[in-house]
């Protein structure tokens, strides 16, 4: 069932990303997603960037997300959810070191997780990967939240030059974390998984995939990656725990 929400605040995060703050909460956990509907336009899935109030961080990558960018304060959208399997913090997170890895707009749900972990007195380090400095997402906000942030850009225009997995490797070698969390493109997640297996670390991965129904009925979001062939991101995931 869809519920009606009203946009109360719009924040520009970078040149192609806006955060929409809505007028009320949604009971949800980090890593879950919601189906967002605009009548006469379409319905698409979005990670939940915060639950109280419901907040969506939207990257303009197609007609629907571009239409969301055109919404103004006071305009309405419709939400179905929360859906999917969430991230889980350690049973007693206080004092534990957690490393999070976000590639591109995969950083958005990790901020929700980071804030939950920091509230529980965990030490949080976030490795952010992007193509260029202009593509870096939410780094300043995460620092303000209290996280340690490492940035990697493919062209070296901000932070280190290279892939975000290099930042993960440095973070792991510096001090062994209690767990690793990641969200981003499939090749990045597979590289994170390989490093976690090599170091014997527990890890949780949030898989990106195209979705239509959000409930495991249509099969559109099947993940085609090693170790998870036939796995549906919407119902089996999006988060896998290992």
12 and 63 share one domain: yes
134, two tokens:
């202009």
79 and 101 share one domain: no
Assigned domain for 202 exists = yes
41 and 125 share one domain: no
Tokens 């956990």 — which residue? Answer: 29
Assigned domain for 171 exists = yes
Assigned domain for 17 exists = yes
69 and 124 share one domain: no
Which pLDDT tens digit goes with each residue over 15-34?
999 999 999 999 999 999 99
> What's residue 241's pLDDT?
82
pLDDT category of residue 90 using cuts at 50, 70 and 90: very high
Assigned domain for 234 exists = no
Listed residue (35, 7, 30) closest to 122, CA to CA: 30
pLDDT category of residue 240 using cuts at 50, 70 and 90: confident
Which of 35, 61, 83 is the last residue before a domain boundary? 83
Which of 83, 118, 145 is the last residue before a domain boundary? 83
77 and 105 share one domain: no
CATH number of 153's domain: 3.40.50.80
Neighbours of 58 (CB within 10 A): 26
Whether pTM exceeds 0.85: yes
29 and 58 share one domain: yes
107 and 154 share one domain: yes
39 and 112 share one domain: no
44 and 146 share one domain: no
pLDDT category of residue 225 using cuts at 50, 70 and 90: low
Assigned domain for 223 exists = no
Which of 48, 83, 118 is the last residue before a domain boundary? 83
Assigned domain for 92 exists = no
CATH number of 25's domain: 2.40.30.10
161, two tokens:
């030059």
62 and 152 share one domain: no
> What's residue 2's pLDDT?
93
Structurally, the chain folds into a number of domains equal to: 2
119 and 141 share one domain: yes
> What's residue 212's pLDDT?
59
CA distance 169 to 79: 38
Assigned domain for 142 exists = yes
Q: How many CA atoms lie within 13 A of 53 on its CB side?
A: 12
Note down the domain range covering 165.
97-208
Tokens 């990670």 — which residue? Answer: 47
Assigned domain for 115 exists = yes
Q: How many CA atoms lie within 13 A of 189 on its CB side?
A: 27
């Amino acid at each position: 069932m869809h519920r009606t929400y009203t946009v109360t605040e719009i924040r520009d995060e970078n040149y192609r990303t806006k955060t929409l703050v809505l007028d009320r909460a949604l009971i949800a956990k980090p890593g879950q997603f919601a189906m967002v509907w605009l009548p006469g336009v379409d319905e698409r899935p979005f990670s939940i960037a915060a639950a109280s109030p419901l907040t969506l961080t939207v990257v303009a990558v197609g007609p629907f997300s571009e239409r969301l960018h055109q919404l103004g304060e006071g305009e309405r959208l419709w939400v179905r959810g929360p859906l999917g399997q969430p991230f889980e913090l350690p049973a007693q997170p206080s004092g534990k070191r957690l490393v999070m890895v976000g590639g591109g707009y995969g950083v958005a749900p990790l901020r929700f997780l980071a804030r939950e972990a920091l509230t529980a007195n965990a030490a949080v380090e976030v490795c952010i990967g992007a193509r260029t400095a202009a593509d870096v997402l939410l780094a300043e906000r995460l620092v303000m939240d209290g996280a340690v942030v490492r940035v990697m850009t493919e062209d070296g225009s901000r932070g280190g030059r290279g892939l975000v997995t290099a930042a993960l490797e440095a973070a792991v070698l510096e001090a062994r974390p209690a767990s690793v969390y990641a969200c981003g493109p499939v090749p990045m997640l597979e590289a994170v998984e390989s490093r976690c297996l090599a170091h014997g670390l527990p890890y949780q991965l949030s898989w990106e995939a195209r979705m239509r129904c959000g409930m495991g009925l249509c099969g559109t979001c099947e993940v085609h990656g090693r170790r998870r062939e036939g796995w549906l991101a919407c119902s089996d995931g999006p988060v896998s725990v290992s």
